[in-house]
């Protein structure tokens, strides 16, 4: 049971971070379908930092540098969406889809090229981070606490305060509801939308490194992030674009994802003799069922996905 809680919390942490990222972007009026690609880029940045950090680096420094590398690469990659959607008024769904395809492909090519340069016999897209990963873990009895769990909780609290208790957050949401009205009172809609997309890149990139370090000490980048970016979008929609509800939805989906790792520890689940792939599919099946029954009552920001034209009223 303790192992189930452990995996639920770490997978929920991934979903909270990435879904909050999507929440900020969509509250600003930009649909971010590209969270999957952003996660891959963030994971790549963090994994490379862990790979090339010198041996003997202290745990706090490892945590800080890995988090910063993931955030930086996630933000840089999210600029593709920001420039295309805000400056060039491109179709946001198509841009996000292209980012997802490009993210996994680019990371795979880069890691294979890097591994080949180090050893001609190594053409895999795998990066190992066995020792650096230990900096994120603290054993509390038989429970393995991960500092990313605390980071996700802090991000959740800050997201709630930012969106509902600060001038910036209220202005950001105004740009996603009625950008023309926001512009009429002096709010720069373009800057607010840039801020929303870049925050989503920051949180999405961070979610990527959390995901690839959850329970494993190496990652094969041609696998991407197994659809977790889309699962985070489902969490965001189910959570009605509100941080507190997103957290509850993330715990639910995280629980079903955790079952794939620990189902053998439960006799009644083992007795069912279901293939392990069924448990891997569970969170995605649940997301389809949940969205089928709840999406018609969802209330997305009114102006999301609509390119802002200053001349329109």
pLDDT tens by residue, 295-308:
777 889 999 999 98
State residue 174's pLDDT score: 96
Tell me the pTM.
0.96
**Least confident among 1-15, 83-97, 252-266:** 252-266
Closest residue by Cα to residue 35 from 162, 224, 258? 224
- CA–CA–CA angle 292, 295, 301 (5° rounding): 160
Across 140-151, average pLDDT: 93
pLDDT at 172 over 70: yes
Average pLDDT over residues 209-214: 96
Sign of CA dihedral 279, 284, 288, 293: positive
d(Cα 169, Cα 162) in Å, to the nearest integer?
5
Query: CA-CA distance, 171 to 192, in Å (whole number)?
Result: 8
Percent of the chain with pLDDT over 70: 99
Task: Return the minimum-mean-pLDDT range out of 38-52, 65-79, 113-127.
Answer: 113-127
Asked if the model's pLDDT at residue 125 lies above 90, the reply is yes
Query: Which residues partner with 218 through β-bridges?
Result: 128
What pLDDT score does 82 carry?
97
In this model, does residue 310 exceed pLDDT 80? no
For residue 312, pLDDT over 70 is answered with no
Q: What burial class does residue 130 get, using C-beta atoms within 10 Å of its C-beta: 0-12 exposed, 13-18 middle, 19+ buried?
A: exposed
- Per-residue pLDDT at 47 exceeds 80: yes
Query: What would the mean pLDDT of 157-173 be, rounded to a whole number?
Result: 98
Residue with tokens 């980071």: 151
Which is higher by pLDDT, 84 or 259? 84
290-298 CB contacts, 8 Å cutoff, 24+ apart = 290/234, 290/238, 291/234, 291/237, 291/238, 294/237, 294/238, 295/237, 298/237, 298/240
Nearest in space to 62 (alpha carbons), one of 209, 228, 211: 209
pLDDT-wise least confident of 63-77, 203-217, 250-264: 250-264
Query: Distances in Å between the alpha carbon of 305 and those of 39, 95, 291, 295, 300?
Result: 21, 11, 19, 17, 10
Contact at 8 Å (CB) between 175 and 189? yes
Predicted confidence band at 272 (pLDDT cuts at 50, 70, 90)?
confident
Amino acid 292: pLDDT: 86
What pLDDT was estimated at residue 159? 98
Report all structural domains of the chain as residue ranges with CATH numbers, in order of start: 2-297 (1.10.3470)
Contact 36, 229 (CB under 8 A): yes
pLDDT, position 141: 87
Q: Is the pLDDT of residue 280 over 80?
A: yes
Binned at pLDDT 50, 70 and 90, residue 270 comes out as confident
pLDDT in tens, 228-241: 999 999 999 999 99
């Amino acid at each position: 049971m303790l192992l189930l809680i452990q995996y639920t919390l770490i997978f929920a942490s991934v979903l909270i971070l990435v879904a909050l990222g999507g929440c900020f972007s969509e509250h600003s009026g930009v649909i971010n379908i590209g969270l999957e690609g952003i996660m891959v880029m963030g994971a790549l940045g963090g994994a490379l930092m862990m790979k090339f950090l010198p041996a003997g680096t202290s745990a706090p420094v490892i945590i800080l540098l890995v988090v910063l590398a993931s955030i930086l690469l996630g933000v840089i990659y999210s600029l593709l969406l920001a420039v295309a959607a805000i400056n060039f008024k491109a179709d946001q769904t198509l841009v996000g889809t292209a980012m997802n395809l490009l993210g996994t492909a680019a990371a795979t090519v880069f890691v294979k090229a890097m591994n080949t340069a180090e050893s001609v016999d190594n053409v895999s897209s795998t990066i190992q981070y066995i020792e650096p990963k230990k900096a994120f873990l603290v054993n509390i009895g038989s429970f393995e606490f991960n500092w990313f769990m605390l980071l996700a909780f802090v991000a959740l609290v800050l997201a709630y305060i930012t969106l509902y208790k600060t001038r910036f957050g209220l202005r950001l949401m105004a740009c996603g509801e009625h950008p023309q009205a926001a512009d009429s009172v002096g709010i720069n809609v373009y800057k607010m939308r840039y801020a929303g997309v870049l925050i989503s890149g920051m949180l999405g990139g961070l979610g990527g490194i959390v995901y690839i370090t959850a329970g494993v000490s190496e990652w094969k980048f041609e696998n991407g992030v197994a659809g977790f970016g889309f699962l985070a979008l489902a969490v965001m929609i189910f959570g009605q674009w509100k941080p507190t509800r997103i957290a509850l939805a993330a715990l639910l989906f995280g629980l079903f994802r955790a079952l794939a790792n620990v189902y053998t520890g439960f006799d009644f689940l083992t007795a069912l003799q279901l293939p392990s792939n069924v448990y891997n599919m569970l969170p995605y099946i649940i997301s389809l069922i949940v969205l089928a029954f709840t999406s018609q009552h969802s209330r997305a920001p009114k102006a999301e996905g609509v390119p802002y034209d200053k001349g329109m009223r």
